[in-house]
Copies of this chain bind each other. A is one copy, B any other.
Amino acid sequence: MKFLEDRILRDGKVKEGDILKVDSFLNHQIDPELIAKLAEEFYRQFSEDRPTKILTIEASGIAIAIETARVFGVPMIFAKKNQTKNIAGDVYTSKVMSYTHGREYDIILSRDFLTSDDRVLVIDDFLANGAALRGLIDIIRQSGAYLCGCGIAVEKGFQPGGRELRSEGIKLKSLAIVESMDAATGSITFREE
């Protein structure tokens, strides 16, 4: 998506350690107009897959996921990263390795909100190693629901997550794929569509 690539070029910042900061518009401060455009694009990409639920993981995926759910007219559900008192009992759970935090954590989703009757579109803001997506897909498989596919705002194409998921036949659509970036010069190159 040209508008997302342009925004990344304008406001994104490349930092040492393969970090692409997009926190001025995508995942700390969030531009609602941009998010609405991303949601409309996800609708174009996945409307034929007729999702009944939009699934994401807290926290920064929630904004894009709720907008996408609004466009589709279906509920949004989000996996939580820690067990809390208010989610007791019957949950799906999976383990996710966080490369950002250097540790493994559990994700959980109440069984009340995902069943084998559901068709699930997974939405997230970022894809790098794909660890979070793997956890969400694991939960979908536990539920017996159908995986429509995954919609991602920004994929780091030089990390393996996207390639691996596509090689398994998963319908994965990233609205901007960073092919390479350079912290020294600040340059960012996108994959040609």
Contacts and interface: CB of A to CB of B under 8 A. Distances in A.
A21 B86 CA distance: 7
Q: List the number of copies, as a whole number.
A: 2
Contacts of A188: none
A101 B75 contact: no
B101 A30 contact: no
A80 to B, nearest CB: 7
Interface of A: 17, 19, 21, 23-25, 28-33, 35-36, 58-59, 62-63, 66-67, 69-70, 73-78, 80, 84-87, 100-101, 109-110, 112-113
Given A29-B113, A62-B62, 16 more contacts: A23-B86, A23-B87, A28-B77, A28-B109, A29-B76, A29-B77, A30-B77, A32-B67, A32-B69, A33-B70, A58-B58, A58-B59, A62-B63, A63-B76, A84-B100, A85-B101
